[in-house]
Amino acid sequence: MNSIETIIEKTNPLANKTKALPEDSEQFLYSQTRIQASTKKHLQENRIVSGFKPGPWLESYKMLRTRCLQIMDTNNWTTLAITSSGNKAGNSLTAANLAISISMELDRSVLLVDANLHNPSICKLFGLEPEAGLSDYLLHDTPLKEILINPDMDRLVILPAGKEMINATEMLRSPKMIRLVSELKNRYPSRIVIFDMPPLLSQADTLGFSPYVDCVLLIVDEGHTKTDELKRAATLLKDINVLGTVLNKASNNKIKYQDN
Amino acid sequence: MENQAIDIKDYLNIVKRRSKYLLIPFVVVSILSIVLAVALPSVYRSIATILIEEQEIPSDLVRSTVTTFADQRIQVITQRIMTRANLMDIIQKFDLYPDARKSKSEERILEKMRKRIVVEPISANVIDKRSGQPSMATIAFTLTFDDNAPAIAQKVANELTSLFLKENIKSRTESAENATLFLSEESRRLKDKIEEIQSQFATFKEKNLNQLPQISQLNQQELTTLGSQLLNLDSQERSLHERQFYLEGELAQIDPHALATNATGNRVFDTRDRLKVLEAEYPSLLARYSENHPDVIKTKREIDSLKIEIGGNTNINKLNAELTNKKAELALILKQYSGKHPDVLKLQKQITTIQQAMVTAHETAESNTSVTPDNPAYITLNAQLQSIQADMGSLGFTRKELNQKMENLRTSLRQAPLVEKEYNDLIQELDNTNLRYREVSAREMEAQISQQLEVQRKGERFTLIDPPQEPLEPVSPNRMAIIFLGFVFAIASGFGCVFLVEMMGSTINNEKTIASILGVLPLASIPYLESREESETIAKRRFIMVICTLITITLAIIAFHFIVMPLDVFWFKLLRVIGAN
């Protein structure tokens, strides 16, 4: 969406802020991970919380983070898939923002996996230019260390989706993928792995992949998600741990645009 | 979490979200209603009040033949007035609905006009004099006419009122006249009938004169009298018979011929005695003289002539006996043979011959017995006998007559009951007809009086107490009401649209809906974050909307100005509408 801008920002050395904390347990990760950072303006335009001053926008995600972590800790869950019933409900944005807000907790680290192989968008949100992604890992065995990206935020690593895939559903259920999931899950106990998934009702990916994650978070798009869509989604997910729902784009406490 | 009931805030949210669906119908409908309220033509109403006055002369004295209820009569007259011819006349006269007449059919215009004529009775609670029951009586009625022009409304109302009054008088007089006419016709018919029955009665009486009930007693008395007369007659006849027998006896003893004496004093014999004498003398003469002696010849000749004279009757008797025999024979033969049998013919011929012979014999006998009796006693007795015979003949005649008469009387008496029945029927019919005639005559008189009542306008009348005035203010449309209702309807349609849209697109719009579906409230609610672009777009869209609205309104106003009515006119009308109410 703002690829030219992103490229400009990326090439600008001033924009890159490296703030790796050496005492962090996962410090080695960053040593293996490329660090890319985006401009505040880009983040703001893409509604990424890190681009905003502390305020209602950030607070709402902190609230979501707190609720999610409470439940996940109680059940000892560490992997979370984020999906919605229909298109453009804001899955990726919620995933990204939730990931950022979790990473703000000092004792947590987050891996955000863009598992939407049909329409990958996480990188666009962060303004990242990945060289390879999940698809490359699955197809060509590209090493993870070459794929992972740190968007210049502490305790947050992104696994981009890579190129679009036609047989994404099958690939997501492949043994390699399952191995990857368990590896990501088990390597660091305090790490939360968030999968950004395509919509539940339009693609089979999510439903097929859901048994391999601990829980699912369902995004409800206010004014667009139909009641029967939600009902259908609930029916489909009845055997899977549903963390809960998020009412996205709530209009009754709309945040007006303000220059800052 | 349990609080899933929709509260007022949710409604407000819905309205806020669907404000477009609320506003557009609201604006459209309210503008339409304002235009309607202003553009609707005024209707002016002219009212005439007509009082129904009771008849002046108390109805106990003169009863009107027009007995329908005032209400009913008003309806009838209204129908009569609202005929096509009448209304078309009025339309032509006042040049009503000039535009509509060019484009619409006559029926439509008439229908329109009929709708604008309203006849409304004014009722009052009264107590019926006769029954004492409280009831509603029509004491007056109003006649109204609506039109867009006040002057025309008044004129037409006036015309209609006068038509109404005229029609009432006409119908009342006509009805009274009709009653009179009918009754007089009826009485004339009854009179004719009476005459006819009377003449029929006269003919009947004439024909059955003797069998009439009044006569029958007389007939009986007469029959008794005749019976006694008949008895009397019988006794008379008996005495006459006795006398006849007596006289016949007497007569038989007396010689018809008197013992006449000749000049010498000798008794002159009658023929038979002479014959006896001569026959006695004849043998002695023969003894004394020869046959050729002149005395003998003279006596013989005398005897012969006497014999012829006397014995003619014996000849007839003989013929008579023979005829009887022959007739008996003929009767006997006729039993065996037909009339053409030779024996029968022969006998018939013989009988004819004998009869002819008898006729001739009679003639001779009469000439023979032409000697009239000359004995006075005999003649007297004979005359008496003959008078008795004449008496008896007359008695027989009288008896016959009496019998005839009695027979007639009896027949009459026997027929009398039948005649009486018919007679009574006729009398009855005559009586009935007479009675009816008297009744109808009395009614006719009454009807004539009633007709006078109507002719002199003393009956129940319609009086115009409030003639139609030129209305100053229009009665309709109630523009404020239209505007008010328009606004109400606009609001209703706005909310209706919102409701419909909400019903059709059942999207999830708040946490409660999610909670109601899943039973669990969402973990969090992420507010909508407006981006700069969106903010700009919204501002831009708002600006375009304003411009568009302004342009639309301007265009609408211009269109209104040129198509519906000039704006200044509209403005003044609007001011009047607001000011008037």
> Which tens digits make up the pLDDT trace of B93-117?
888 888 888 888 888 888 888 888 8
Query: Which residue of chain B is at minimal alpha-carbon distance from A71?
Result: B523
Q: B131 versus B72: which is more confidently predicted? A: B72
A168 in Cβ contact with A118 (< 8 Å): yes
CB–CB contact B508 A226 (8 Å): yes
Mean pLDDT, all residues of chain B: 83
A239-243, B182-186, B290-294: range with lowest mean pLDDT: B290-294
Give chain B's end-to-end CA distance (angstroms, integer).
Answer: 53
pLDDT of residue B143 exceeding 50: yes
Considering only the beta carbons, identify the residue of A47, A67, A226 that sits closest to B524: A67
**Model confidence over B273-307: pLDDT tens digits?**
778 888 888 888 888 888 888 888 888 888 888 87
| CA distance to B20, B235, B500, B535, B564, per residue, from B541 (Å) | 14, 157, 26, 10, 32
Considering only the beta carbons, identify the residue of B523, B527, B532 that sits closest to A250: B527
CB–CB contact B526 A246 (8 Å): yes
Q: Which pLDDT score is estimated for A70?
A: 92
Sheet containing A109-114, strands listed edge to edge, beginning at the edge strand earlier in sequence? A34-35, A149-150, A156-159, A109-114, A191-196, A79-84, A215-221, A242-255, B524-529
% of chain B surpassing 90 pLDDT: 10
Q: Which pLDDT score is estimated for B363?
A: 65
Q: Which pLDDT score is estimated for B268?
A: 64
Strands B134-147 and B117-127: antiparallel
pLDDT of residue A166 exceeding 50: yes
Q: Which pLDDT score is estimated for A5?
A: 42
Q: Which pLDDT score is estimated for A31?
A: 56
* Residues of B at the A interface, defined by Cβ within 8 angstroms: 13, 17, 505-511, 513-514, 517-518, 520, 522-535
* Residues of A at the B interface, defined by Cβ within 8 angstroms: 45, 47, 56-57, 60-61, 63-64, 67-68, 71, 90, 94, 217, 220-228, 230-231, 234, 243-257, 259
pLDDT of residue A7 exceeding 60: no
B471 in Cβ contact with B225 (< 8 Å): no
Residues in chain B within 8 Å Cβ distance of A63:
524
**pLDDT, mean of residues B431-440:** 91
pLDDT-based confidence at B20, cuts 50/70/90? confident
CB–CB contact A220 B524 (8 Å): no
pLDDT of residue B55 exceeding 80: no
How close is the nearest chain B Cα to the Cα of A228, in Å? 8
What count of other Cβ atoms lies within 10 Å of the Cβ of residue B572?
Answer: 13
Q: Which pLDDT score is estimated for B136?
A: 77
The closest of B80, B77, B78, B87 to B108, measured between CA atoms, is B87
Q: B386 versus A257: which is more confidently predicted? A: B386
Considering only the beta carbons, identify the residue of B525, B530, B532 that sits closest to A250: B525
**Model confidence over B233-279: pLDDT tens digits?**
889 889 988 988 888 888 787 776 666 666 666 666 667 777 888 88
Residue B441 neighbours by CB under 8 Å, 6+ apart: B187
CA distance linking residue B450 with residue B176, whole number of Å: 7
How close is the nearest chain A Cα to the Cα of B23, in Å? 19
Identify the sign of the CA torsion B123, B124, B128, B129: negative
CB–CB contact B507 A226 (8 Å): yes
**pLDDT, mean of residues A202-216:** 90
pLDDT of residue A26 exceeding 50: no
Considering only the beta carbons, identify the residue of B508, B523, B524 that sits closest to A225: B508
Tell me the residue ranges of DSSP E strands in A55-205: 79-84, 109-114, 149-150, 156-159, 191-196
Q: Which pLDDT score is estimated for A96?
A: 92
pLDDT-based confidence at B313, cuts 50/70/90? low
Query: Which residue of chain A is at minimal alpha-carbon distance from B522?
Result: A245
pLDDT of residue A19 exceeding 50: no
**Model confidence over B333-373: pLDDT tens digits?**
888 888 788 888 888 888 888 888 778 766 665 554 555 67
pLDDT of residue B547 exceeding 90: yes
How close is the nearest chain A Cα to the Cα of B511, in Å? 7
* DSSP H or E stretch at residue B92: helix B84-94
Picking from B21, B521, B526, B532 by the largest number of A CB atoms within 10 A of its own CB, the best residue to mutate is B526
How close is the nearest chain B Cα to the Cα of A257, in Å? 5
pLDDT of residue A62 exceeding 70: yes
What does pTM read for this prediction? 0.49
pLDDT-based confidence at A95, cuts 50/70/90? very high
Residues in chain A within 8 Å Cβ distance of B535:
256-257
Nearest-5° angle of CA A54, CA A55, CA A56? Answer: 145
pLDDT of residue A123 exceeding 60: yes
CA distance linking residue B492 with residue B25, whole number of Å: 9
**Predicted complex: ipTM over 0.85:** no
B486 in Cβ contact with B36 (< 8 Å): yes
pLDDT of residue B124 exceeding 90: no
CB–CB contact B522 A246 (8 Å): yes
CA distance linking residue B406 with residue B497, whole number of Å: 119
Q: Which residues of B3-37 are buried (b: 16+ CB within 10 A; e: fewer)?
A: eeeeeeeeeebbeebbeebbeebbeebbeebbbeb
Considering only the beta carbons, identify the residue of A47, A63, A64 that sits closest to B529: A47
